[in-house]
Structure 1
Amino acid sequence: MYLATFLFSSAIWLASRVVGQSTTKVPDSAWAAGGNPTKLDMFYYAPPGLPPNAPLVVAIHYCLGSAAAYSSTANFMPAANQYKFAVIYPQATHDNRCWAVNTEATLTRGGGGDADAIIKMMNYTIEKHQIDRKRMFVLGSSSGGMMTNVMMATYPDYFAGSASFSGIPYACLQGSRGASPMSDNSPCVKGGNKHTGAEWAAKVKTAIKGGYTGEYPPMQIWHQTGDPVVNIALQSEQVKQWTTVHGIKDAPTSSTPNTPKSGTVRKVYGDGKKVVAFTTTGSGHPHPVNIPEVLKWFGIASAQ
């Protein structure tokens, strides 16, 4: 049932693709200095007239997805034209096009995994377009939401904000046989891998060998209550992990129904500057990307 539901959900997303502005594929020879061991592909979009010191958004697709599909279902290109920022759409090519969030290579900074490859894509874009290093952001859906958590743990110094849609905590799938519904043998996505906030935070601290004493970026965490693929319990586990990392309580300081839309509850933790969660009543997977809310969270669009 789990696999069938996942495949059906993914098919719906892929079928929703529309033709529009397109990304550009960048050859490995341009961005993958030192090699590309996990064989990722880089696609990106830079709007006409992109000025120096513009922001950068990294948008990471779901399992069975692609850069093309995600650039349609999470189409940041019209907003990139309006607000003048660049967008990278990395593309996985292994394990049913899922991100290798189960491997030590990806879970460790400098390990030669997917996280390192995405950073190489960012470095290429930074140099090519003189990106503002203080305004770089990452988001993703399902497997991409999982990878977003990994990027936060492995390269916190690169990002100013993040958003995870239907994701899991960093290291939840650590040691699993695979990272896709077809290869995973972990209880994680079913909600069976639970820890205290301190235990989750300790896992984050292992991502950078030699330790890290800097600040971690803020995170939005989105999920649907009846998600048939990634259990809703994983939203609470992410909240526990990142509130603890930020040194704030995992009990919300406010809860607002029907925000930003009917059926969604917005929960604020601490002063709301580090962790915010959105829980939507429904059974879809993954949670649709709310581009206006994400861009407000990133500070690219004004919050009004």
Structure 2
Amino acid sequence: MARLSALSVLVGALSLPLALVNAAANQLEKVTVNFGSNPTNVGFYIYVPTNLTSNPPVLVNPHACHGQASDAFTGSQYATLADEYGFIVIYPDSPNEADKCWDVSSSQTLSHNGGGDSLGIVSMVRYVLNKYNGDANRVFATGVSSGAMMTNVLLGSYPDVFAAGSAFAGVAFGCFAGDGYGVWSDDCATGKIIKTGKEWAAIVKAAYPGYKGYRPKMQVFHGTADTVLYPQNLQEEIKEWTTVLGLPKSPIKTVLNTPVSGWTKSIYGPTFESYSAEGVPHNIANQEPTVMAWFDLACTGTKCFSRTNCERH
């Protein structure tokens, strides 16, 4: 992302301190074989529980800026939950050694099969689905900060791959778009890029021209005191995804104090919900139970939420 020294402090704030909360039974493994197209050389790490379910779901968890795959692994409970429910977790590692942020700006990463970091990550998904007989209809993505920005990119560029996403303190798909892989958009970060829902939706649809299939459902979280990626970015995500998903512009239901006191959940329909976290800065806390429920990842039967079974939420 940023290359200008004047922005170094701001970009540095995208690095989130992650507590060691993982109690996973197995180790994080690095995949070194040729797993498919990976034009930017994204690192591939994976967590495979001892007891895999038959046809296991796959969760992609990209790390925050100035972090690495092992930070995402140790800084959340997803691997521990994988031990319990038998799904696989992919922890990609940013190839950008300058700041370890994700490429969410290049025309390549913002295009279906166009290249960039997003293609490398999707190649990991395709490899895992093939090697472990994974469920191609139950592939999910979640991340915080730069990982949330990449989650938006993955769902926008690859709606044919992902069933759902969950993004904490990110920005709308295409908000950082610029000339190159390492673009920092101060206008986007500070909430100055404001578009209509139709304008945002056009950007998403341009990533995969002619695509008429299933669109992944999405949930987004943002703190009202975020001074790194300003709270206006939540509003832009809401406008973008509700329009893409054909949902109302205003919530059909609002729930206070969930999943944390002071957080407000807004439901726009079965495929999109947002959470505004009152007084919370950029360092927003992961909410694994809420994400797990959104993805239905605790389900191990035959009627779990998937791309082809959208009735279960």
TM (norm. structure 1) is: 0.90
SS at match of 1:104: coil
Q: Of 40, 43, 58, which residue of structure 2 is paired with 1:41?
A: 43
Q: What residue is the counterpart of 1:254 in the other structure?
A: 253
After superposition, residues 1-304 of structure 1 pair within 5 angstroms as: 3-4=8-9, 6-7=11-12, 10=15, 13-14=17-18, 16-17=19-20, 20-21=23-24, 22-27=27-32, 29-31=33-35, 33-34=36-37, 36-94=38-96, 95-175=98-178, 179=182, 184-209=184-209, 211-270=210-269, 273-301=270-298
Q: Would the aligned equivalents of 1:264 and 1:281 in 2 still touch at CA under 8 Å?
A: yes
Deviation of 1:75 (Å): 3.0
Tell me how far apart the structure 2 counterparts of residues 153 and 132 of structure 1 sit (CA, whole Å). Answer: 20
Q: How many residues align?
A: 293
Percent identical residues:
35
Tell me how far apart the structure 1 counterparts of residues 13 and 187 of structure 2 sit (CA, whole Å). Answer: 21
**What is the one-letter code of the residue matched to 1:246?**
L
Deviation of 1:134 (Å): 1.1
Tell me how far apart the structure 2 counterparts of residues 8 and 196 of structure 1 sit (CA, whole Å). Answer: 28
Tell me how far apart the structure 2 counterparts of residues 185 and 263 of structure 1 sit (CA, whole Å). Answer: 30
**What is the one-letter code of the residue matched to 1:174?**
A
When residues 76 and 186 of structure 1 are mapped into structure 2, their CA distance, relative to the original with a 3 A threshold, is same
SS at match of 1:219: strand
Query: RMSD of the TM alignment (CA)?
Result: 2.1
Deviation of 1:285 (Å): 1.8
Q: Could you list the runs of 5+ residues in structure 2 that have no partner in the other structure?
A: 1-5, 300-311
**What is the one-letter code of the residue matched to 1:104?**
S
Tell me how far apart the structure 1 counterparts of residues 79 and 144 of structure 2 sit (CA, whole Å). Answer: 17
Q: Would the aligned equivalents of 2:21 and 2:76 in 1 still touch at CA under 8 Å?
A: no
Tell me how far apart the structure 2 counterparts of residues 202 and 18 of structure 1 sit (CA, whole Å). Answer: 40
Q: Would the aligned equivalents of 1:106 and 1:114 in 2 still touch at CA under 8 Å?
A: yes
Tell me how far apart the structure 2 counterparts of residues 157 and 240 of structure 1 sit (CA, whole Å). Answer: 21
Q: Would the aligned equivalents of 2:152 and 2:173 in 1 still touch at CA under 8 Å?
A: yes
Residues 12-62 of structure 1 show CA distances to partners (whole Å, capped at 9, x for unaligned) of 615x346753310000x331x24x321110001010021321111000111
Tell me how far apart the structure 2 counterparts of residues 40 and 68 of structure 1 sit (CA, whole Å). Answer: 14
